[in-house]
């Protein structure tokens, strides 16, 4: 999907350019279901095994605990007020309207800038739209409000400071980078209490296959430990070599 800059119209998440149509709805739903059954640790291990960027650990859950998994829509923010002559619009509003139910909004903020790139009204709008949650490498605000309505926010920081005059939306639906990891609309994300994992659409099939194998092996190890097998035997026999098989 081509990026839409400030003031430009943005197609919906199900319009042309969305790879959902190439896979088919049933296949896409299966991918999301499989992703949601994993956790960030198994997924990160799979990424390591395949030589892909592993989990990012600096964007913890700030509201409800739990896991979100889905396809992503992207927003890139920039510092300062909107450029002169542009049509103003509220941060992330176009992305919420372009995203589909179950999607995750990824927001590239300005790390270290103390200004909320996400807030309470946006959380309410995203929840009403059916989004699974948001992930940002910067600050979010109105955390108590998002917690009250049960909307998942994963953010590098929290703040009470407004974005007015401090941030503007530079692009929606284009390529972004979070923690050095590239993402674009149609890619996949999973976030939980341990970390955030971003998976390119082109890699999702092999990543899921590897992660499911790792999760199955760890489940077997957990059963052995709970059955009374010494943990030194369980971990020593398999753990250190799991990613090389």
The verdict on whether residue 142 carries a ligand-binding annotation is: yes
The verdict on whether residue 102 carries a ligand-binding annotation is: no
Alpha-carbon span 155 to 63, nearest angstrom: 10
With a CB cutoff of 8 Å and minimum separation 6, the contacts of 32 are 69, 70, 71, 102
The verdict on whether residue 10 carries a ligand-binding annotation is: no
Alpha-carbon span 228 to 28, nearest angstrom: 40
The verdict on whether residue 141 carries a ligand-binding annotation is: yes
**Residue 180 exposed, middle or buried by CB count within 10 Å (0-12, 13-18, 19+):** exposed
The verdict on whether residue 112 carries a ligand-binding annotation is: no
**Residue 102 exposed, middle or buried by CB count within 10 Å (0-12, 13-18, 19+):** middle
The verdict on whether residue 130 carries a ligand-binding annotation is: no
Please count the other Cβ atoms lying within 10 Å of the Cβ belonging to residue 148: 13
The answer to whether the beta carbons of residues 191 and 67 sit under 8 Å apart is yes
Alpha-carbon span 99 to 3, nearest angstrom: 14
Alpha-carbon span 118 to 120, nearest angstrom: 7
Numbered residues of the known binding site for Mg(2+)? 142
Numbered residues of the known binding site? 119-122, 141-142
Numbered residues of the known binding site for substrate? 119-122, 141
């Amino acid at each position: 999907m081509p990026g839409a800059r400030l003031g430009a119209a943005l197609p919906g998440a199900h319009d042309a350019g969305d790879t959902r149509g190439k896979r088919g709805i049933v296949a896409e739903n299966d991918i999301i279901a499989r992703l949601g059954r994993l956790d960030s640790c198994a997924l990160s291990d799979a990424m390591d095994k395949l030589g892909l960027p592993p989990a990012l650990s600096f964007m913890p859950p700030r509201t409800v605990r739990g896991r979100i998994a889905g396809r992503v829509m992207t927003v890139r923010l920039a510092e300062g007020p909107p450029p002169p002559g542009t049509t103003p619009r509220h941060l992330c509003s176009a992305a919420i309207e372009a995203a589909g139910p179950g999607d995750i909004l990824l927001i590239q903020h300005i790390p270290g800038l103390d200004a909320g790139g996400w807030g309470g009204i946006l959380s309410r709008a995203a929840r009403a739209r059916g989004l699974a949650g948001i992930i940002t490498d910067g600050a979010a605000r109105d955390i108590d409000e998002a917690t009250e309505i049960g909307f998942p926010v994963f953010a590098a920081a929290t703040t009470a400071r407004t974005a007015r005059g401090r941030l503007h939306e530079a692009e929606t639906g284009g390529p972004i980078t979070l923690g050095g990891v590239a993402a674009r609309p149609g890619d996949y994300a999973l976030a939980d209490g341990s970390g955030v994992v971003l998976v390119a659409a082109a890699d999702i099939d092999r990543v899921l296959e590897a992660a499911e194998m790792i999760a199955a092996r760890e489940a077997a190890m957990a059963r052995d430990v709970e059955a009374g097998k010494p943990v030194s035997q369980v971990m020593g026999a398999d753990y250190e070599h799991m990613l090389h098989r």
